[in-house]
Structure 1
Amino acid sequence: MASTASHVSFLPPILTFCGAAVVAVPVFRLMGLSAVLGYLAAGVAIGPSGLSLVEDPQTIATVAELGVVLLLFIVGLELKLSHLWEMKRDIFGLGFAQMAVTAICLGSAAMAVGFSPAASFVTGVALALSATAIALQMLGERNDLQTPYGQRSFAILLFQDLSVVPLLALLPLLASGAAAEQGSLADRLLAVGEALVGIAAVVLVGRYGLNPFFRILARSGAREVMTASALLVVLGAALFMQEVGLSMAMGAFLAGLLLAESNFRHQLEADIEPFRGMLLGLFFMSVGMSIDLALVREQWLILAVAVPTVLLGKTVLLALLSRLFGASWRDGLRSGTILCPAGEFTFVLIPLAMSLGLMAPAEAQPVTALAAITMLLGPLLSTLVEKLLASRRAAEEEPDAPTLHGAEGVLESRVLVIGFGRFGQIVNQVLLAQGIQATVIDTNVERIRDAGRFGLQVYYGDGTRLDVLRAAGAEKAEMICICIDDHDAMMKIIDIIHENFQNARSFVRAFDRIHAIELMNRDVDYQIREVFESAIVFGRAALEELGVEPSAAAAAASDVRKRDIARLVLQKEVGAMGGAELVMGSKITPEPLTAPAGKARALSPETRDILGEGVM
């Protein structure tokens, strides 16, 4: 049996990471800086060059790479295949131009300082890559992923990720004896065929298998099973892509892309988000731990020149290229500062090049340190430029914002409807009649399937969960309509809205008079009893059918409505029954809103007993 010490041996590093994060990240956020900087600084502090609280940073970095995998999955969920096709000009045009021009410029600079041609090539392409995790994290913090510059930045990052696989295959060809190492042409063609078959397999399974799979699991009602299934899909796709020679991140992105139009999208995003945030923070800390302060002190002069050269050079080049592809100078500068740090794959390409003999250790070590420092200082540069631009053009609107396609947040940001039962369905029909596309959340699989036949966008998710509401766009919503029929869940959602989404107006379905008063005491913006208006309309129609003039029938209905509202307000102020409602078992007694014309008459002996009239 294992000793107690062996069971808790994993706790010290976990406590170290948690402690460093909870100290550094809030401090940097209070300073108005990105959380990424906090994680990177925490990594430097606890790493080998700092307090040496973590003994094996490389093992941590291996686990932390899963954060990038989960990040790419969530990014895939935010896109659609049709939108990706519309971005082809930015992906293959601007993305290729950025990689090619930046690699040539940085490679030439490396050759000018004495690097060999092979080492210069590797340095150029390695530093031309950008930090996907840092860029997407900062775009997410600013809610800018769906803006024009955010979409262009993502297109460039996507092309860079696509180019990593060819680059990894190209480096051995540059090394001596590459022909023997690479095997025959048939072997290389087989490897390409395996990759294509792998992509096709993921596409087919994602297109035809995932939705039925999640539908079966949703019927079980076990929330933890949905979480486990989400991780299974993401990590399974990532591992499968790695086995066929592609990157794990691309596998996760492809899985997310195939689920982008799934009814379970928001629930999947909410289930993955906690793991993504935790592992991504761990990844940033691992990058900070990789910075060798001793090497920095030894070669401080070279790095002092190289770091600003890389950051400013990449920023200027990308701003110029973005301008050539139709972006404004302001958007080009924002993209440039977001993408100026070196990328995560730099730490893959440089060691591989050194193992193949393309780079000497004296060349590889400063380039690795340079890449890590740019990841540390790049977010700071981006934050400073963003604040400068915001202060100068705070009131300026983006001229090309309306041209975004597939940015689902734009369509769904106005109204969020929770519940798609008999009440929520009618609410949505009225909204759709005026062209307002609401995001709808429900946990009933059959309702989601029915809604699909009406062309409505309904997503599987638990509306009482803060993470689900955030994933569905509650932070951007102008109005949140609560249309469910669960009293406790409804009150919980109201509390969540008041605490976290104060900009959204709350429109709530009430069951009866007591519930309406309770909702008024919770300060909801609007409430309506689910049968009150239908009964008013019913009574008005009955009057008209009995020969009453339509105007008189409408006036009678309006008078009843006004009197009821007045009484409801009074009952809210003084208590539904003046305090008697606190007595166990008591209830509100219905009373007429207009004085009766006469005394009630019982028409049967049973009724006389009920009314207490005695025998006639």
Structure 2
Amino acid sequence: MIRTSLSAFGEILILLVISVTSIALFRRLGLAPILAYLFAGILAGPSVFELFSDTHQISLVGELGIVFLLFSLGLEFSVPRLIAMRNMVFGVGLSQVILTLLVGFTLVFLLGLNWQASLAVSCVIALSSTAIVIKQLTENAKLQTHKGQLSVSVLLFQDLAVVPMLIVLPIIAGASDVGLTTSLLIALLKGFFVFVLMMAAGKWVLPRIFNEIAQARSDELFVLTTILVALLTGAITQLFGLSMALGAFLAGMMLGESQYKHQLEADIRPFKDVLMGLFFISVGMQFDIFVLADIWYWLLLSVLAIIAVKVLIIQAVIRLFGYNKSDAWASGIMLCQVGEFGFVLSALSLEHGLIDSFVASIMMGVGVISMGITPFLINHAEHLSYWINDKNPLTVNPEESLEPSDLTDHVVICGFGRVGQTVSRFLKMESIPFIALDVDPTRVKEARAASEQVRFGDARKLAILSSVNIQTAQLVIIAFDDLPRAITIINLVKQHAPQAKILVRTHADDYLQELIKAGADEVIPETLEGSLMLVSHVLFHSGVPVKRIFGRVRRERKNHYNGLHGFFRGDTSKTDSDEIEYLHAVTLPKNAFAIGYKLNELDLPLRKVEVNSIRRNNQDFNNPEPNIRLKAGDVLVLLGSPHKAERAEKYLLEGR
């Protein structure tokens, strides 16, 4: 038993080493992480090192990655977004998928495969890589161009088409017992029943559950509930004989309209990424590299054929809907690869016996090669489209971007309490774009009902900040008083949005230096600012010129409120913290140790105490000079924590 456990542990450890090394290498080469996972699976699989005697366990765990992937995909399918892009999504996207399925099915069937295998292969060919294409378009700032939006629309429908494909492929594998028509009809009825059940749960059950969970303010509980919902809905659909992925997709789609969407995405992402990595590793383990080495020329020919067919189909469909040639060809070049869902469908088809390992290896090889060259194709899609159209890109007017996002050069407000809402009102008056984040579900619900720009999400997570375009924000306001949370957000903003200024609101100035050291551009202590405003009114009504008042206030802010630090403590003051500094007066009698010494001759700084002022002969010396010599009767006003001030007083009086 112990020996087996050690062996399993060693296998997992070696797999982790291979995976980490592969991902680091592929990232250095600018290739997608998916390819790194596939490469790691090939190395760990029977083709090379044969590390695992039983790869079924890894495949079983990896399938959970598909569940979480479909859950995340469902979160993206908001009904308003689909309606806004309906012409491109359900026009261009639907036409591309149907036409590619028909052409792919015909060509593969003519090559000698049966109709079930032909349908499975054509489903793989019809899909492109959402992850790689959108990532490259974002990095190249082409996401908002016409060709970028066309590509995204096609990808949206392809992702939507994955769901019926996941249902149909297992059905046609076992259709001989009952009949294909009957099997599809039964699956349709089951799917309709499950859909109604899920929608009812999404409308009346899940929102109440997440409201209660959010009220608890527990990150762990929120994450666990998210995982439970994804797996439970998958289990329900599996109970009805349908795919687990379908249930997860429906659950994600139901929650995609809720205020918790972005927080759910952030919470599920780590689990999805790790489990998807395991899934692609398990796919790579099925990759027979020696078989492909013998038929490498057929593999390359298949890659070229699939790329050519997809480019021709996509550009023809886009031109059919009235878009210009350059956009059509560029979109076709961007979407000509076989995507990550192709691996999912290939593995599913192999599992149900629709295709053999030889065909599966070819399809996986096509996917790996086509995805590997995708970044190059996207980077040069525009020039290739001009070359195909026999046009010089220098003579073509640059296309105008679509309407830019509202979230550009905007303000991000972390915390939508009293302070955050007050700030937002003044920003709204000046027509300054902003977006707020808050973790109070009731507050977010009330604010969103009033059409306020606020989202539910924890600003300590990069995914949440990215969802509000932190990379293009001009200002970040941390409007809550929580030092650990504030420092975490400051670090994230400094790392991923260095151009953004950071303003932090605190109740007092207890942690002012820590926040400034962490990277905050300005720290606004609420108590001290209130004191400054009160002083401003007092001085104004006392006849002091406004210019002098503004000058004094400006100097206090510039000096980080040094003139306002410290106060005399009373019975209600907190005395159990060394972080809070108080003022403490010490009178020097005739026999005091410090008499005759200069301030700089005493080791008060080493005792972390400052002399704020000295009162001598009814005259105050604020910020006294270091060389002032102390006399009997002097009253020293010390600034420091209670314990340190008391020890300093004993030193001044007794010398110890």
The residue number in structure 2 matching 1:168 is 169
Q: How far apart are 1:425 and its partner, in Å?
A: 1.8
What amino acid sits opposite 1:49 in the alignment? S
* Greater RCO structure (CA 8 Å; 6+ sep): 1
Q: Is the 8 A contact 2:480 2:505 kept in 1?
A: yes
Alpha-carbon deviation of 1:91? 3.6
* Deviation of the 1:22 alpha carbon: 0.7
Instruction: Using the TM superposition, name which of 98-107 and 525-534 deviates more.
Output: 525-534
- Paired with 1:90 and 1:246, the residues of 2 have a C-alpha distance of 30
Task: Give the Cα–Cα distance (whole angstroms) in 2 for the partners of residues 246 and 413 of structure 1.
Answer: 46
Aligned-residue offset at 1:269: 2.0
Alignment of 1:316-395 (within 5 A): 316-325=312-321, 329-330=326-327, 333-334=330-331, 336-338=333-335, 340-341=337-338, 343-347=342-346, 350-351=349-350, 354=353, 364-389=356-381
Deviation at 1:541, TM superposition (A): 5.4
- RMSD, aligned CA: 4.2
- Structure having the higher helix fraction is 1
Q: CA 1:526–1:239 in structure 2 vs 1: closer, same or farther (change >3 Å)?
A: same
Q: CA deviation at 1:274?
A: 0.9
Quote the residue 1:559 is aligned against. Answer: 551
**Aligned equivalents of 1:590 and 1:62: distance in 2?**
76
Alpha-carbon distance in 1 for matches of 2:476, 2:457: 15
TM-score, structure 1 normalization: 0.78
Query: What is the CA deviation profile of residues 412-470 of structure 1, one whole-angstrom value per residue up to 9, with x for unaligned ones?
Result: 88332222222222112222334455333333444434434543344444444455544
How big is the shift at 1:118? 6.2
- 1:298 aligns with 294
Partners of 1:553 and 1:91 in 2: how far apart? 65
Q: Confirm or deny: 8 A CA contact 1:67 1:279 kept in the other structure.
A: yes
Equivalent-residue separation in structure 2 for 1:151 and 1:256 (angstroms)? 19
Q: Is the 8 A contact 2:343 2:364 kept in 1?
A: no
What is the aligned partner in structure 1 of residue 62 from structure 2?
Answer: 64
> Counterpart of 2:578?
none
Matches within 5 A, 1:169-568: 171=172, 178=176, 181-182=178-179, 189=185, 191-325=187-321, 329-330=326-327, 333-334=330-331, 336-338=333-335, 340-341=337-338, 343-347=342-346, 350-351=349-350, 354=353, 364-389=356-381, 399-402=400-403, 411=407, 414-436=410-432, 438-466=434-462, 468-470=464-466, 473-512=469-508, 515-538=511-534, 554-568=546-560
- Aligned 8 A contact 2:187 2:242 in 1: no
| Cα shift readout 1:246-279 (whole Å, capped 9, x = no counterpart) | 4333332322222224333333222211101111
Bigger drift between 131-140 and 84-93 goes to 131-140
Residue type matched to 1:346 in 2?
L
Partner Cα separation in structure 1 for residue 264 and residue 372 of structure 2:
32
Separation in structure 1 between the aligned mates of residue 99 and residue 7 of structure 2, nearest angstrom: 49
Matched with 1:92 is 90
- What residue identity is the alignment partner of 1:289? M
**What amino acid sits opposite 1:151 in the alignment?**
V
Mapped partners of 1:428, 1:581: distance in 2: 43
Return the letter of the residue paired with 2:301: V
For 2:126 and 2:248, the matched residues in 1 are separated by 23
Confirm or deny: 8 A CA contact 1:34 1:138 kept in the other structure.
no
Structure 2 Cα separation of the partners of residues 18 and 308 of structure 1: 34
* Letter aligned with residue 320 of structure 2: L
Larger CA deviation: 22-31 vs 462-471? 462-471
Q: d(CA) in 2 for partners of 1:590 and 1:35? A: 66
Aligned counterparts of 1:56 and 1:233: Cα–Cα separation in 2: 30
Pairwise CA distance, 1:534: 4.6
Q: How does 1:563-574 map to 2 (within 5 A)?
A: 563-568=555-560
SS at match of 1:441: strand
CA 183–112 in structure 1, closer or farther in 2 if over 3 Å, else same: closer
Give per-residue Cα distances to partners, 1:134-188, cap 9 Å, x unaligned.
6677778879878514521432323421441564377369x7xx4x623996x86
Contact 1:334 1:385 in 2 (8 A): no
Cα distance in 2 for residues equivalent to 1:324 and 1:527: 57
Amino acid at match of 1:64: G
Secondary structure of the residue that 1:181 maps to in structure 2?
coil
Does the Cα contact within 8 Å between 1:171 and 1:353 map onto a contact in 2?
no
Q: How many residues align?
A: 570
Give the deviation of 1:370 after TM superposition. Answer: 2.0
Note the 1:130-149 alignment, pairs <5 A: 130=128, 148-149=149-150
Provide the secondary structure at the position in 2 that maps to 1:95: helix
* TM-aligned CA distance change 1:26 to 1:448, over 3 Å: same
- Give 3-state SS (helix, strand or coil) of 1:416's partner: strand
Cα separation, 2, equivalents of 1:229 and 1:218: 10
Residues 139 and 150 of structure 1 are in contact (CA less than 8 Å); yes or no, is this contact kept in structure 2? no
SS of structure 1 residue aligned to 2:282:
helix
Deviation at 1:235, TM superposition (A): 1.5
Structure 2: distance between partners of 1:313 and 1:52: 36
* C-alpha displacement of 1:24: 0.7
Counterpart contact for 2:124–2:338, Cα < 8 Å: no
Identity percentage over the alignment? Answer: 26
Q: 2-side partners of 1:191 and 1:106: how far apart?
A: 25
Question: Which amino acid is the alignment partner of residue 560 of structure 1?
Answer: R
Conserved in 1, the CA contact under 8 Å of 2:128 and 2:158? yes
Question: TM-score by structure 2 length?
Answer: 0.74
Give the Cα–Cα distance (whole angstroms) in 1 for the partners of residues 458 and 352 of structure 2: 49
Specify the SS of the correspondent of 2:470. Answer: coil
Q: CA deviation at 1:230?
A: 0.6
Deviation by residue 1:305-362 (Cα, 9 ceiling, x = unmatched) = 222211332233223323434556357535654452161353256447856xxxxx7x
Deviation (angstroms), 1:372 = 0.4
Say if 1:124 and 1:423 are closer, same or farther in 2 by CA, change over 3 A.
closer
Deviations 1:68-126 (A, max 9, x none): 32123223334422112333333433233222322333333334444456654554344
- In structure 1, the partner of 2:80 is 82
Q: Report the residue type matching 2:272 in the other structure.
A: R
Structure 1: runs of 5+ lacking an equivalent:
356-360, 404-408, 597-609
Q: d(CA) in 2 for partners of 1:585 and 1:94?
A: 73
Contact in 2 for aligned 1:338/1:379 (Cα 8 Å): no
Determine the C-alpha separation between the residues in 1 that align with 2:171 and 2:76: 32
- SS of match in other structure, 1:234: helix
Residues 517 and 571, structure 1, Cα contact 8 Å, conserved in 2: no
Please list the CA deviations of residues 492-519 of structure 1 after superposition, one character each: whole Å capped at 9, or x if unmatched. Answer: 4323332443233212224445644554
Deviates more, 1:234-243 or 1:24-33: 234-243
* Paired position in structure 1 for 2:574: none
State whether residues 42 and 285 of structure 2, in contact with CA within 8 Å, keep that contact through their aligned partners in structure 1: yes
